[in-house]
Amino acid sequence: MLDIQYIRENADVVKTACVNKNLDDKIIDKLIKVDEKRRDLLVKVEKFRAESNSNAKKIKEQVHGGGRPDADLVAHGKKVKTQLKEIEPTFKDLEEQYLDLMLQVPNVPADDTPVGPDESGNEIIRTIGDKPNFDFNPLPHHELMEKLDILDTKRAVRIAGFRAYYLKGDGFLLEQALLRYAMDLLVQEGFTPMTVPVMVNKEAMVGTGYFPWGAEDHYKTQDGQILTGTAEVSLTAYYMGETLAEKDLPIQIAGVSPCFRREIGAHGKDTAGIVRVHQFNKVEQVVYTVADEEETRKWHDKMAGLSEQLLTDLGLSYQVLAMCTGDMGAGQRKKYDIETWFPSQEKYRETHSASYFNDFQSRRLNIRYQAKDGSLKHVYTLNNTMAASPRMLAAIIENYQTAEGTIRVPEVLQPYMGKEEIK
């Protein structure tokens, strides 16, 4: 959520952000009109409330003094209450309209975010690492995994539906090794590891900015809770409604959790293999920092750098992209995607995403901190995918396959696996 004063003073900037993010810019004019009506009516409401309180106080003083309340005061009090009762429903309705519209206003992209309509506008910043040079035709990950009996999609689809899968034996162990290694890297960097709720209330989804825009892409329970598509939701909402102290910032937390996505709009995409699925596991990192964009951008680069370190440690080739306005979330101010090389497809595929929001999420979640000068400010928030499986698992398997149909275990994961090769 943006500051309403900022929206009032920079309406054209916010409208441009809407257009560049493929959202309706007419929402801004609607908001400003509702805001003006709300503020005008608020003056009247506060005037009547003050007048009513003052009148009641005078009557109370007369009664306590042993006298009878003045008839004119009583009549005036009734009149004011009637006037207040007549306009309060309208004011309440305007308040609800105002909040609804405020929640539909996107964040303004950073100045160096590329402007583009969709993924075609993304810019490659750098490409790192050597692609494997095979003297045989590399198999797609799922074919190799099924031959080694470490993946079963046929039974999974029969039992759980499209895009379901079982990881078996060394497939499961390799995934766990990857997730544990990723979390260990974060712990070494000062992140506190956490398990998180994967069923959350609507307030957490709205607060993190996944609602209202992404409501259709999430599963819901019969009790009205939502299954999260990332641990970011629970981690970012952890301090919802609280006031922190500047001395405790930055706060670095990391979660590992199952994630659930309906994959709306992905019909026909990546139907083979386990690159696009409804349920997966992920290590996610979140940082709360001070209200300073320069400091936030340092953290943004650092967090993306930790994902790069993971890929480098795994010996995988990857590229870092600056995401354009049309291919980033409504709440994101700047976003990097990291794509890892998939030999069987001969292309880089997204495996990581790092974003910062400034106070967009913290305003919605009401997370503030008391600065050293005593003032209250909203924290700035960031998040980053450290490791998502089975997509990362698929990348490892494709890059580490051998002509004999086995899979070499990356050196850094061998202590977790207890073996060098999957046969």
Catalytic positions:
261, 276, 350, 353, 391
Taking each helix axis as running N to C, give the angle between helix 391-399 and helix 169-188, from 0 to 180 degrees, rounded to the nearest 10.
Answer: 110
The CA-atom distances, in angstroms, between 120 and each of 1, 90, 124 are 28, 46, 11
Are the beta carbons of 331 and 316 closer than 8 angstroms? no
Residues whose CB falls within 8 Å of the CB of residue 32, separated by 6 or more in sequence, listed in order:
7, 8, 11
Long-range Cβ contacts of 146-149 (<8 Å, 24+ apart): 147/405, 148/405, 148/406, 148/407, 148/422, 148/423
CA-wise closest residue to 383 among 335, 315, 327, 324? 335
Rounded Cα gap, residues 276 and 262, in angstroms: 10
> What tokens were used for 127?
């490409």
144 - beta bridge partners? none
**Which residue shows structure tokens 């101010």?**
333
Residues whose CB falls within 8 Å of the CB of residue 356, separated by 6 or more in sequence, listed in order:
296, 297, 299, 300, 332, 333, 334, 380, 381, 382
Rounded Cα gap, residues 411 and 315, in angstroms: 9
What is the Rg, in whole angstroms, of the alpha carbon atoms belonging to the chain? Answer: 27
For residue 92, give the amino acid letter.
K
**Overall size of the chain counted in residues:** 423
DSSP state for residue 405 in the 8-state scheme: S
> What tokens were used for 130?
């050597």
CA-wise closest residue to 252 among 384, 110, 392? 384
Rounded Cα gap, residues 291 and 246, in angstroms: 10
Q: Which helix (H) or strand (E) holds 9?
A: helix 4-9
Backbone angles phi, psi at 101, to 5 degrees: -70, -40
Torsion of CA 196, 197, 198, 203, to 10 degrees: -120
Rounded Cα gap, residues 27 and 33, in angstroms: 10
